Structures are given as structure tokens and as C-alpha cells.
A and B are shown apart, each in its own frame.
Chain A
Amino acid sequence: QQQVKQSPQSLIVQKGGISIINCAYENTAFDYFPWYQQFPGKGPALLIAIRPDVSEKKEGRFTISFNKSAKQFSLHIMDSQPGDSATYFCAASDDRGSTLGRLYFGRGTQLTVWP
């Protein structure tokens, strides 16, 4: 059973455009929602994260929007650049429950930004 569902699988955006990646979850115990960025041949790296007590978090060109009632969250990349071309993973975990230590990942979105 997939804990976190991510879409789209791939995304092509022109330079300067907005990239949007969506994720959905079912487990209402999840209380931490990070996004990781992975370049080819490298391990994933933490990009930005949010907790459900806020609806939006912004760091530079990257914004997480969180909808607790819909159990959905999304990553927005403003002014997308060719250097943003990478695979993006959303994830979720429950820090206070029996699954402490388990971070569940979506299947990833391969973003390509054309110059």
C-alpha cells in the first residue's frame, strides 16, 4: 500500500515558468511533510519541509502548500531554472506514533526545465 501518492511522474516546464508537483496521503497521523531533490548519480537532499500547523511555507523560489482537510500538499517552484532539473520526492512521517523513524516517499517526479 502506497502511503504517499505523487503526481505527475514527469514534468516539462519552460525557463521562467512555474513547476507544480502534487502529493496526497491517507494516514492522518502524518505530521511532517518534506520534499527532497535528487540530481542524477547523487543521493536525495532535503529541499523544504512543512508541518500541518501551517498552510504554506516559502523558501526562496520554493513553496509548499498544505491542505490538511484534503490531505494534500504540493511543491511550487517559481521562476523555474534549468538548474532545477532533477527528480523531486515528497515524503511523510509520523513522529509521535509507533512508526517513528519511518519516512515514506512518493514515487518521484522528474522535472525538466527547458532553457
Chain B
Amino acid sequence: NAGVTQTPKFQVLKTGQSMTLQCAQDMNHEYMSWYRQDPGMGLRLIHYSVGAGITDQGEVPNGYNVSRSTTEDFPLRLLSAAPSQTSVYFCASSYSADSNYGYTFGSGTRLTVV
């Protein structure tokens, strides 16, 4: 039982490049989400999904796209990387969207945009 797996763990991008951060869970969780963590800013919600085929925007969605074609996977796409997107990205999942179940977080992807 691997939990929430994020790849890659580290990535350096040049401004304007695109890339996809991968997130997979093997717990049959319906709810998945992406957060970014910046020093002194806490965790801010980028996008989330309450089930396969359903996604919605969080607090800071600009510059990011998501899709949820399967229950297991929830990739985050950076369309045209900018230095402001330098951050640590966390994927989280939960059995359902309501809060009766805590979130399980992945170990993060540290992204640097130069």
C-alpha cells in the first residue's frame, strides 16, 4: 500500500517550459487535490477533484490545469512555467470530499523555475 505517490521529487524548469506533475493514489480515494507550499504562506489550494471527471478551482488556480480521467491519478500541468511558480507542490487525497476523513499527503515535488 503505497499511499500517495508524487513524481518527480525535484525538477528545474526554464521560464516558458511546460511540464506535468504526477500524483497517484492506491487507496481508492474519491477526493484528490493539489496544494502549493511557499515559505510563510502555508498551503494554498490550486485545484481539487471530488471524483473522476470532476475538477474545480481552488485559491490559486492561474497557470495550472488539471484533469481526472481515473480515480487513481490526478496530474497537475504547468502550461508555461514562471519564476512565481517556484514552490513545493503537494498532492493530497481523501476517501471523500467531506471532512470525516483526513487528507493523506504525498511527499511533495520541489519545483524551481529559472
Residues of A within 8 A of B (CB): 6, 9, 31-32, 34, 36, 41-46, 49, 89, 93, 95, 100-108
Contact of A43 among B48, B56, B58, B107 (CB under 8 A): B107
Q: Please name the residue on chain B nearest to A101 by beta carbon.
A: B97
A9 to B99, CA, bound (A): 26
Residues of B within 8 A of A (CB): 4, 31, 33, 35, 40-45, 48, 50, 56, 58-59, 90, 92, 97-99, 102-103, 105-108
Please give, as numbers and ranges, the residues of chain A lying within 8 Å of B56 by CB-CB distance. Answer: 101
The verdict on A103 contacting B41 (CB below 8 Å), with A49-B102, A93-B99 known, is no
What total count of A-B pairs have CB within 8 Å? Answer: 61
Q: Is the CB of A45 within 8 A of B105?
A: yes
Q: Is the CB of B108 within 8 A of A101?
A: no
Q: Is the CB of A43 within 8 A of B99?
A: no
Q: Please name the residue on chain A nearest to B106 by beta carbon.
A: A43
Q: Is the CB of A44 within 8 A of B43?
A: yes
The smallest beta-carbon distance between A38 and chain B, in angstroms, is 8
8 closest A-B pairs by beta carbon, nearest first, are A43-B105, A46-B102, A32-B99, A107-B42, A105-B43, A101-B97, A105-B42, A95-B98
Q: Is the CB of B42 within 8 A of A102?
A: no
Q: Please name the residue on chain B nearest to A45 by beta carbon.
A: B105
